[in-house]
């Protein structure tokens, strides 16, 4: 084989390719162009096959034939993109039946978790990331755990803080010893009775109060309780832990405030508030113009509580905290009426 | 508790703006709610009546010239008590005044009254909103500075305190003053308690006996003879009125005043009504009667504590006095009681008799017995001041609780550091304690012995003192230090883990979670009884309503209720579930709280056609899918349940354990509800049973078979009473079959009565080789034979 024949063949392929390209353009189909490209310029295309034969020629012949082949390749590629460009500019061909892409998609039925469950999980997640273990306890409780072991003996003035629903069951002294727990705090005593320090637990659960319902009060609600006990756990640790929690849930720009408050099972007692994120602390309807939103009660576990479960209050110290779930959810979602939570109107629940 | 700033200022100097003061009190433990400003009184001033003369055209009207410093005004006044030289409350034209005749607030304007122009008004209490008196003008003290705005002289700001149960001392103005003194670092002026005793020794006249020393820690009394009972002076009425208390008479008002001032409840008896001047503190006798001051005829019983004379009970100790011994206008000799009663006893009696008084509210919280004597002396001084009389020499003071009263607590800087996590210099600690009224003695380096002041009943432990220090220093001034103690070991509660997985699985199945009230009525609880036995629900002894009287034993009624309420406004299909507890009564102990998952489907399906409504098969699909996704393979057995349709229901069984039920709710139950949905399908699963049958190995991977499967389709005709599970079982029994798929069910045309046609696709596959066609064909033939023999199945073409 000589270079002359190869050069001729290259020129033939060029002519053939150009006339076929013209034919494809008149067909007006982009996919026809692709077939054309494969036929001439593809891995096994006609021009590519000729190029492979260059290896058989002498160095000089290879130079002239190679130059021509590359020139033809460039020409074909240029022509191809010209034709592609022209074809793309043409308006799309109308399909016989108009297609309505605005019709609704095929319905897919989805389920959702109740906003309370979502909030419980979010709070648990935050504390689990700080090494807390989640445990749960009974909703029907003994007076002993709900009150007495929390330093609230019979007739203690603080009992008025929790209006209680009592179970119709009397003990030998004629007292009602069984109740619907008014807070998740009884689990503090139960956990400590069952385990030795160190303790770091989180207790979500339902609670009940004898209370009329209104936009901010429910007789049936959820709380999350936390308890940390070990040697060397301090008030300063309480502050850092709760501050971290607030930042995890409400964002790192939030500020917190700690003030003295009273709960019989802690000493010192704490109420933690967060600066109002609706008004950035300037004062609005949500924070009742105070700039602060109360989030939870907390404090150092009372020495009498530690003693009551058999811990040495001189050796161990700890802190506990408790918060209402619905309140957190209301703040997060801007819900203005707590009664929506357990009214179970699907128009409400489907928003979460 | 209301605290008027004006009254507070009698004990402490207040330089701070009031909102800042309120903030400090709040941060230190007693939340200040509202701050009410009384009397804005724009354009009102302290005025002096320079001249007064008769109105030329009206006998009963007086013309006055009133000086307010820079200006003088001529006004017409109708009040009979106006006189020259008086200091009065003067309203210029433009002031807002309460009109007695209309009851409305009006803007005062100059007016011509019988030919004379009146430029303003000399005001009565009523017109200023200070009281009921409207026919005479309000006369101010002679030392009132003429010309200052009336607000500066008479106005006030009242703090509304939410006092926590541990701080009965803050149920008094003086108690709050002590708090303010500590928070603003100013000294306190204690009220005066001295008086002259010119009468006979009290022991010669009166006698007190305590029958139950365990319920009465201290009883003190003084005696004043020759008092003049009458209306209280203005300052006294004003103070009580600011605290929303009615004025009774000067003697009773002082007892109330001292209670508000110092926190010690007191009671005054008409001494002449007590035979031999003797009283006894004892428990009530069974059925004993007493007409109390509120007019109620009360029947008393032991162990209620009463004050009695030889005839019977004269007062309900620490709660309310009795009618026959009360102070009247005829009273001349009074016995003043200031005692300390057992808080629990008072609380019990008050709650048993459903009576709550200012006295009982304070006693219930536990007061210091030291306060009794101080309150008595203060009241004696003031009663003598306002009602006159001669005070008997000495007081009666029986103090059985003295031995128990321990008022010292040891505080070490080591403990302080341990609890707060930060060291505070001992000097700072001592300053804080002193500002709160505590005194202290050094025990050794870093340890002090602290004595609590007489008004604080809430300090008995070292940690109580630590809170005192922390709250005055300010919680915000204690640093935040992250926990650095080790994270404890611990396994998650498996029931909780499984429950949350099931919750997620049900959401994945397209169900919306609801959470409903666990309390219900007996009627609703009994309406749907799931399972074989009827469960007796736990009862609430003090339910809020009949609808919330029993703890539920099933979640199904709650779901039916949710369906019903949503159907009022929601017409799409409803797919809901709840994961919650039901409460199973156990004698003598806490109930078994069974973790349960239940769901309800009602309405039309998305796909329509073969199953236009959500029915048995949909609810079964949900249960199958949800359980499979948590690693449990359920089977189904026939169920007879009073709630569910006789036929269209089934038990959910895993191995041999019944883990739940499902089916369509009986029409008899649905007919009681306001819903049109038919059917309504439900399920209920016992999560603890599911935990028992959950494979302990967890989820294990199965090899994917790499050899191709062969497929044969078969259509069979069989009796309607042959269950598809039977057919399935026969097919799957063959060792080459890996899976079947029921793809068509047909009855109707071309199918005989009591027969139905089922079409299955059968998948043949071997884990270790490609099956030969002949092998598959003969296996298929064997299956057809077995079906014919065992289920009387006929092959269709």
Neighbours of B413 (CB within 10 A): 16
Q: Which residue of A has its CA nearest to B162?
A: A261
DSSP B285-353: PTTEEEEBTTS-EEEE-TT-EEEEETTEEEEETTTEEBSTTS--TT---EEEEEEEE-HHHHHHHHHHT
On whether the CB atoms of residues B547 and B579 are closer than 8 A, the answer is no
* Helix and strand element counts for chain A (H, E): 12, 9
Q: Is the Cβ pair A113, B503 closer than 8 Å?
A: yes
Neighbours of A85 (CB within 10 A): 9
Neighbours of B264 (CB within 10 A): 31
Q: Which of A268, A288, A347 to mutate to test the interface with B (most CBs of B within 10 A)?
A: A268
Rounded Cα gap, residues B244 and B190, in angstroms: 24
Q: Is the Cβ pair B482, A206 closer than 8 Å?
A: no
Q: Which residues contact B143 (CB under 8 A, 6 or more apart)?
A: none
Helical spans, DSSP H, in chain A: 3-27, 30-41, 46-52, 59-89, 115-128, 143-146, 186-194, 235-250, 303-308, 325-333, 339-343, 346-349
Q: Does B479 touch chain A (CB under 8 A)?
A: yes
Cα angle B422, B427, B431 (rounded to 5 degrees) comes to 105
Contacts of A240 in chain B (CB under 8 A): 480-483
On whether the CB atoms of residues B776 and B710 are closer than 8 A, the answer is yes
The answer, yes or no, to whether residue B350 has pLDDT greater than 50, is: yes
Q: What pLDDT score does B533 carry? A: 54
Q: Is the Cβ pair B487, A131 closer than 8 Å?
A: yes
Q: Say which of A162, A191, A254, A270 is annotated catalytic.
A: A162
Q: What pLDDT score does A95 carry? A: 62
Residue A112 falls in the annotated catalytic set: no
Q: Say which of A223, A292, A305, A338 is annotated catalytic.
A: A223
Measured between alpha carbons, how far is residue B92 from residues B81, B155, B777 in Å? 20, 17, 115
pLDDT in tens, A163-190: 999 999 999 988 999 999 999 999 999 9
On whether the CB atoms of residues B409 and A223 are closer than 8 A, the answer is no
Rounded Cα gap, residues B159 and B17, in angstroms: 13
Mean per-residue pLDDT, B98-109: 88
Contacts of A302 in chain B (CB under 8 A): 463
Q: Which residue of A has its CA nearest to B488?
A: A198
Q: How far is B672 from chain A (nearest CA, A)?
A: 21
Q: What pLDDT score does A84 carry? A: 82
More confident residue, B276 or A283: B276
Q: How far is A171 from chain B (nearest CA, A)?
A: 9
Q: Does B488 touch chain A (CB under 8 A)?
A: yes
Q: Is the Cβ pair B478, A155 closer than 8 Å?
A: no
Mean per-residue pLDDT, B440-466: 95
The answer, yes or no, to whether residue B396 has pLDDT greater than 80, is: yes
Residue ranges of B 415-444 with Cβ closer than 8 A to chain A:
418-422
Q: How far is B573 from chain A (nearest CA, A)?
A: 10
Q: What are the backbone angles phi and psi of residue A18, rounded to the nearest 5°?
A: -65, -40
Q: How far is B492 from chain A (nearest CA, A)?
A: 7
Q: Is the Cβ pair A134, B366 closer than 8 Å?
A: no
B246 secondary structure, DSSP code: -
Residue with tokens 């019983």: B301
Q: What pLDDT score does A53 carry? A: 79
Residue A134 falls in the annotated catalytic set: no
3-class state of residue A157 by DSSP: helix
On whether the CB atoms of residues A213 and A341 are closer than 8 A, the answer is no
Q: Is the Cβ pair B538, A140 closer than 8 Å?
A: yes
pLDDT in tens, B1-31: 999 999 999 999 999 999 999 999 999 999 9
Rounded Cα gap, residues B521 and B545, in angstroms: 9
Q: What pLDDT score does A28 carry? A: 73
Q: Which of B318, B478, B480, B495 to mutate to test the interface with A (most CBs of A within 10 A)?
A: B480
Residue ranges of B 142-181 with Cβ closer than 8 A to chain A:
164-167
At B528, is the pLDDT very low, low, confident or very high (cuts 50, 70, 90)? low
Q: Which residue of B has its CA nearest to A235?
A: B420
The answer, yes or no, to whether residue B441 has pLDDT greater than 60, is: yes
On whether the CB atoms of residues B537 and B552 are closer than 8 A, the answer is yes
Rounded Cα gap, residues B573 and A243, in angstroms: 44
Q: For helices A59-89 and A30-41, what crossing angle results, to 10°?
A: 180
Q: Is the Cβ pair B569, A347 closer than 8 Å?
A: yes
On whether the CB atoms of residues A267 and B461 are closer than 8 A, the answer is yes
Q: Which of B345, B422, B467, B607 to mutate to test the interface with A (most CBs of A within 10 A)?
A: B467
Q: Is the Cβ pair A237, B421 closer than 8 Å?
A: yes
Q: Does B551 touch chain A (CB under 8 A)?
A: yes
Q: Does B547 touch chain A (CB under 8 A)?
A: no
The answer, yes or no, to whether residue B778 has pLDDT greater than 90, is: yes
pLDDT in tens, B655-713: 999 999 999 999 989 998 889 999 999 999 999 999 999 987 767 788 888 999 999 99
Of A83-87, B110-114, B340-344, least confident by mean pLDDT is: A83-87
- Provide the residue count of chain A: 352
Q: How far is A271 from chain B (nearest CA, A)?
A: 9
Q: Which of B542, B579, B593 to mutate to test the interface with A (most CBs of A within 10 A)?
A: B542
β B105-107/B156-162 pair status:
unpaired
Residue ranges of B 119-138 with Cβ closer than 8 A to chain A:
none
Residue A347 falls in the annotated catalytic set: no
Rounded Cα gap, residues B333 and B274, in angstroms: 11
Residue ranges of B 47-76 with Cβ closer than 8 A to chain A:
none
**Which among B6, B150, B151 has a CA at the least distance from the CA of B89?**
B150
- State yes or no: cis peptide before A268, omega within 30 of 0: yes
Residue A90 falls in the annotated catalytic set: no
The reported pTM is: 0.83
Rounded Cα gap, residues A241 and A274, in angstroms: 14
The answer, yes or no, to whether residue B527 has pLDDT greater than 80, is: no
pLDDT in tens, B70-80: 899 999 998 88
Query: What tokens appear for A48 in the block?
Result: 């590519």
Helix, strand, coil shares, percent, chain B, to 5: 30, 30, 40
Q: Which residues contact B753 (CB under 8 A, 6 or more apart)?
A: none
The fraction of chain A above a pLDDT of 90, given in percent, is 59
| Mean pLDDT, chain B, integer | 92
Q: Is the Cβ pair A112, B570 closer than 8 Å?
A: no
Q: Taking the mean position of all CA atoms in its chain, how far away is CA B565? A: 28
Mean per-residue pLDDT, A253-271: 96
Q: What pLDDT score does B532 carry? A: 46
pLDDT in tens, A123-154: 999 999 999 999 999 999 999 999 999 999 98
The answer, yes or no, to whether residue B628 has pLDDT greater than 90, is: yes
Q: Is the Cβ pair B493, A134 closer than 8 Å?
A: yes
Which among A109, A136, A350 is the nearest to B493, CB-wise? A136
Q: Taking the mean position of all CA atoms in its chain, how far away is CA B389? A: 47
Q: Which residues contact A268 (CB under 8 A, 6 or more apart)?
A: A235, A260, A299, A300, B419, B463, B466, B467, B470, B471, B475
Q: Which residue of B has its CA nearest to A156?
A: B344
Q: How far is A251 from chain B (nearest CA, A)?
A: 18
Reported ipTM: 0.86
pLDDT in tens, B283-338: 999 999 999 999 999 999 999 999 999 999 999 999 999 999 999 999 999 999 99
Rounded Cα gap, residues B639 and B636, in angstroms: 9
Burial category of A241 from C-beta neighbours within 10 Å (exposed 0-12, middle 13-18, buried 19 and up) = buried
Residue A209 falls in the annotated catalytic set: yes
Q: Which long-range contacts (CB under 8 A, 24 or more apart) does A103-108 make?
A: A107/B606
H or E stretch covering B5: helix B5-8
Measured between alpha carbons, how far is residue A99 from residues A92, A93, A96, A106, B755 in Å? 13, 13, 9, 16, 46
β B390-393/B197-201 pair status:
parallel
Q: What are the backbone angles phi and psi of residue A164, rounded to the nearest 5°?
A: -115, 145
The answer, yes or no, to whether residue B398 has pLDDT greater than 80, is: yes
Which among A113, A166, A267 is the nearest to B540, CB-wise? A166
The answer, yes or no, to whether residue A27 has pLDDT greater than 80, is: no
Helix, strand, coil shares, percent, chain A, to 5: 45, 20, 40
β B710-719/B755-764 pair status:
antiparallel
- State yes or no: cis peptide before B592, omega within 30 of 0: no
pLDDT in tens, B480-526: 999 999 999 887 889 999 999 999 999 999 999 999 999 999 888 87
Sheet containing A133-134: order of strands: A133-134, A199-208, A220-230, A317-324, A292-301, A266-275, A256-260
Residue A266 falls in the annotated catalytic set: yes
Helical spans, DSSP H, in B388-493: 413-420, 426-435, 462-473
Which among A234, A235, A346 is the nearest to B570, CB-wise? A346
Q: Which residues contact B347 (CB under 8 A, 6 or more apart)?
A: A155, A157, B360, B364
Q: What pLDDT score does B530 carry? A: 54
Q: Is the Cβ pair A133, B492 closer than 8 Å?
A: yes
Q: What pLDDT score does A92 carry? A: 61
Mean per-residue pLDDT, B76-87: 91
Cα dihedral B257/B261/B262/B263 (nearest 10): 70
Sheet containing B755-764: order of strands: B737-746, B755-764, B710-719, B794-795
Q: Say which of A65, A126, A266, A338 is annotated catalytic.
A: A266
Q: Is the Cβ pair A199, B488 closer than 8 Å?
A: yes
Q: Is the Cβ pair A259, B483 closer than 8 Å?
A: no
Q: What pLDDT score does A6 carry? A: 81
β B519-520/B550-551 pair status:
antiparallel
pLDDT in tens, B585-609: 998 899 999 999 999 999 988 766 6
On whether the CB atoms of residues B684 and B676 are closer than 8 A, the answer is no
């Amino acid at each position: 084989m000589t270079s002359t024949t190869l050069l001729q063949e290259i020129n033939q392929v060029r002519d053939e390719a150009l006339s076929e390209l013209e034919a494809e353009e008149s067909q007006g189909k982009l996919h026809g162009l692709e077939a054309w490209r494969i036929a001439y310029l593809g891995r096994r295309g006609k021009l590519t096959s000729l190029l492979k034969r260059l290896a058989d020629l002498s160095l000089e012949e290879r130079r002239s034939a190679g130059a021509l082949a590359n020139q033809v390749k460039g020409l074909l590629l240029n022509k191809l993109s010209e034709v592609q460009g022209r074809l793309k500019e043409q308006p799309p061909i109308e399909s016989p039946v108009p297609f309505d892409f605005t019709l609704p998609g095929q319905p897919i039925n989805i389920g959702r978790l109740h906003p309370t469950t979502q909030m419980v999980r979010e709070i648990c997640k935050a504390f689990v990331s700080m090494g807390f273990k989640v445990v749960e306890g009974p909703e029907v409780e003994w007076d002993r755990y709900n009150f007495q072991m929390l330093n609230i003996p019979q007739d203690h003035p603080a009992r008025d803080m929790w209006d209680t629903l009592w179970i119709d069951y009397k003990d030998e002294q004629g007292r009602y010893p069984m109740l619907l727990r008014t807070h998740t705090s009884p689990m503090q005593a139960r956990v400590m009775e069952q385990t030795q320090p160190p303790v770091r637990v989180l207790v979500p659960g339902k609670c009940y109060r004898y209370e009329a319902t209104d936009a901010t009060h429910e007789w049936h609600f959820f709380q999350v309780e936390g308890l940390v006990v070990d040697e060397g756990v301090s008030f300063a640790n309480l502050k850092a832990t709760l501050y971290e929690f607030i930042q995890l849930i409400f964002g790192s720009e939030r500020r917190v405030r700690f003030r003295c408050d009273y709960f019989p099972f802690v000493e010192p007692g704490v109420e933690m508030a967060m600066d109002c994120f609706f008004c950035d602390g300037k004062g609005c309807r949500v924070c009742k113009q105070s700039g602060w939103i109360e989030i939870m009660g907390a404090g150092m576990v009372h020495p009498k509580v530690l003693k009551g479960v058999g811990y040495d209050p001189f050796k161990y110290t700890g802190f506990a905290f408790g918060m209402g779930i619905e309140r957190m959810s209301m703040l997060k979602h801007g819900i203005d009426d707590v009664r929506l939570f357990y009214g179970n109107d699907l128009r409400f629940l489907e928003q979460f | 508790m209301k605290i008027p700033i004006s009254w507070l200022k009698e004990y402490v100097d207040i330089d701070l703006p009031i909102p800042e003061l309120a903030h400090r009190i709040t941060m230190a433990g007693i939340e200040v709610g509202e701050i009410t400003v009384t009397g804005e009184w724009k354009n009102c001033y302290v005025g002096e009546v320079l001249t007064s003369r008769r109105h030329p055209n009206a006998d009963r009207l007086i013309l006055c010239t009133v000086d307010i410093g820079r200006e003088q005004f001529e006004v017409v006044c109708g009040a009979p008590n106006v006189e020259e030289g008086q200091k009065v409350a003067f309203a210029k034209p433009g002031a807002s005044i309460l009109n007695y005749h209309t009851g409305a607030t009006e803007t005062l304007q100059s007016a011509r009254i019988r030919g004379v122009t009146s430029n303003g008004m000399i005001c009565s209490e009523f017109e200023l909103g200070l009281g009921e008196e409207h026919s005479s003008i309000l006369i101010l003290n002679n030392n009132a500075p003429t010309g200052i705005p009336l607000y500066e002289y008479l106005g006030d700001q009242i703090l509304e305190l939410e006092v926590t149960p541990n701080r009965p001392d803050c149920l008094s103005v003086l108690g709050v003053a002590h708090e303010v003194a500590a928070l603003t670092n100013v000294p306190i002026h204690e009220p005066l308690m001295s008086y002259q005793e010119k009468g006979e020794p009290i022991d010669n006249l009166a006698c007190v006996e305590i029958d139950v020393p365990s319920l009465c820690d201290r009883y003190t009394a003084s005696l004043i003879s020759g008092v003049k009972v009458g209306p209280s002076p203005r300052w006294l009425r004003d103070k009580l009125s600011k605290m929303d208390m009615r004025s009774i008479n000067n003697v009773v008002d002082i007892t109330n005043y001292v209670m508000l001032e110092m926190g010690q409840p007191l009671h005054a008896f008409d001494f002449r009504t007590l035979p031999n001047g003797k009283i006894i503190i004892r428990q009530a006798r069974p059925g004993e009667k007493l007409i109390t001051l509120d007019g109620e005829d009360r029947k008393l019983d032991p162990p209620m504590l009463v004050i009695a004379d030889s005839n019977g009970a004269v007062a309900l100790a620490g709660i309310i006095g009795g009618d026959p011994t009360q102070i009247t206008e005829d009273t001349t000799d009074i016995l003043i009681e200031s005692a300390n009663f057992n808080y629990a006893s008072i609380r019990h009696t008050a709650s048993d008799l459903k009576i709550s008084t200012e006295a009982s509210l304070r006693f219930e919280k536990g007061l210091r017995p030291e306060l009794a004597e101080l309150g008595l002396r203060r009241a004696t001084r003031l009663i003598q001041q306002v009602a006159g009389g001669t005070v008997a020499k000495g007081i009666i003071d029986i103090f059985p609780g003295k031995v128990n009263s321990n008022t010292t607590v040891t505080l070490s800087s080591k403990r302080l550091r341990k609890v707060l996590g930060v060291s505070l210099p001992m000097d700072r600690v001592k300053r804080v304690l002193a500002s709160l009224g505590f005194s202290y003695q050094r025990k050794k380096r870093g340890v002090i012995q602290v004595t609590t002041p007489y008004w604080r009943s809430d300090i008995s432990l070292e940690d109580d003192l630590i809170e005192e220090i922390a709250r005055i220093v300010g919680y915000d001034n204690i640093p935040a230090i992250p926990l650095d103690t080790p994270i404890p070991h611990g396994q998650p509660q498996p029931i909780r883990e499984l429950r949350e997985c099931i919750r997620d699985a049900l959401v994945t199945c397209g169900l919306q979670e609801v959470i409903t009230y666990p309390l219900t009525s007996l009627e609703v609880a009994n309406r749907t009884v799931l399972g074989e036995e009827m469960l007796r629900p736990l009862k609430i002894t003090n339910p809020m309503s009949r609808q919330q009287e029993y703890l539920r034993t099933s979640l199904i009624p709650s779901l039916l209720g949710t369906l019903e309420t949503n159907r009022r406004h929601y017409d799409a299909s409803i797919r809901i579930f709840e994961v919650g507890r039901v409460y199973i009564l156990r004698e003598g102990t806490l109930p078994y709280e069974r973790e349960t998952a239940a769901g309800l489907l009602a309405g039309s399906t998305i796909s329509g056609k073969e199953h236009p409504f959500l029915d048995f098969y949909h609810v079964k699909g949900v249960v199958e899918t949800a359980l499979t996704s948590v690693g449990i393979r359920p089977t189904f057995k026939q169920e007879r349940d009073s709630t569910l349709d006789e036929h269209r229901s089934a038990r959910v069984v895993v191995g041999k354990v019944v883990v739940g039920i499902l089916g369509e709710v009986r029409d008899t139950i649905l007919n009681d509800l306001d819903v049109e949905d038919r059917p309504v399908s439900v399920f209920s699963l016992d999560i603890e049973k599911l935990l028992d049958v959950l494979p302990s190995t967890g989820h294990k991977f199965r090899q994917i078979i790499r050899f191709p499967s062969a497929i044969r389709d078969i259509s069979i005709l069989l009796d309607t009473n042959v269950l598809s599970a039977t057919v399935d079982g026969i097919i799957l029994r063959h060792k080459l079959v890996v899976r079947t798929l029921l793809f068509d069910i047909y009855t109707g045309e071309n199918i005989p009565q009591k027969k139905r046609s089922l079409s299955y696709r059968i998948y043949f596959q071997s884990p270790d080789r490609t099956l030969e066609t002949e092998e598959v064909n003969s296996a298929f033939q064997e299956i057809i034979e077995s079906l014919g023999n065992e289920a009387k199945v006929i092959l269709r073409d």
